[in-house]
Structure 1
Amino acid sequence: MKLKVNNQRFSLVQVAGDNKVILVGAIADRAYKDGKVTDEVVGTKYQLVCPAAKYADFYVKVPEPQKITAEEIEAATAPIEVTLPGFVGRFYRLDGASDYDFTARADDIVIVVPKGKEKGADA
């Protein structure tokens, strides 16, 4: 039996080296029909970097409305750490391609509040 890379699923810790990553961008995830993008928004694609994995970057699709805008991300004065409940990543290769690409999805994105900044904490 051959081991197929595209059949393997990876956790966030396996991909990023940590259960937290840094949010650097967000765009609407749109539906496709007949191989073409439509105007139907089906969720959000978040761009992330992984400090524990030499700042490798990837996108993750979340089937929820955008929780933080690109403007808020750009205006942040500190890195925005997030966790991704239900994260699953996998490699895939298009027919005829020699290289693999990476795709990921998660059930949600949760912003990690820095210690001392929790709701109700005295600053």
Structure 2
Amino acid sequence: MKIIISIAALSALTAVILGALAAHGLKGTLSPASLASFKTAVSYQMYHSLALLLVAALPQLKRNLATLAAWSFILGIVLFSGSIYLLTLAQLSWLGPVTPIGGVTLMIGWGLVLTAAVKGDTDG
């Protein structure tokens, strides 16, 4: 889980940096709709970075399922937030279909967290 915690911290750090960029550097550059999309990507990245930390830290979760959930969150962050960043900043419109795949990957991660909780240590 050390690698998951490291990735979570790096992802959260990146989300803060990109959030600052959105707040201070992109207002005059992006359209209001693109800026809103960018901020949504930052929010989802931060939420799921924190979720990664929780998944790594909660000992009552069934470990193999928690690990799958963590990797699902990582993939979801890359696909969902990453595609939105590239769509808004580089206008790579061909990435549009990737965003919902990332969203589904995040949902799968939450389903795995639920399963890891149900199948994990119920004494805690």
TM-score (norm 2): 0.29
More helix as a share of residues: 2
* Greater C-alpha Rg: 1
More strand as a share of residues: 1
TM-score (norm 1): 0.29
